Amino acid sequence: MTLIDVGYGNMVNADRIVALVAADAAPTKRIISTAKDNNMAIDATCGRKTKTAIVMDSGHVVMSAKDTDKIMSKNEEIEDE
């Protein structure tokens, strides 16, 4: 199991990530809204603006205040080890 830091000490299992999506697009906002309505949203922003929505294989959506590029670069560093 590989954990990825999504900001402020919060970690996500990299093996279960389906997609990392920028949160500013309208379709992504709908995904987040639907996840909130279905109690499938996990807010890992610590009160900051959501920059990335992480879609998990379980249907959960993790909201992160980190940029998509920063999350991916951390994942690539872990894979290189």
Percent of the chain with pLDDT over 70: 90
Question: Is a pLDDT exceeding 70 seen at residue 22?
Answer: yes
What's the structural domain count of the chain?
A: 1
pLDDT in tens, 24-37: 999 999 999 999 99
Please classify residue 16 by burial: count the beta carbons closer than 10 Å to its beta carbon, then call 0-12 exposed, 13-18 middle and 19+ buried. middle
Question: Is the predicted pLDDT of residue 81 greater than 70, yes or no?
Answer: no
Sheet strands (E) in 1-81: 3-7, 10-13, 17-22, 41-43, 52-56, 61-64
DSSP state of 54: E
Q: Is the pLDDT of residue 39 over 70?
A: yes
CA-based angle 27:30:48, to the nearest 5? 100
Does residue 17 lie within any of the structural domains? Answer: yes
Domain that holds residue 44: 6-80
Mean pLDDT, the chain, whole residue set: 92
Is residue 19, in this structure, part of any structural domain at all?
yes
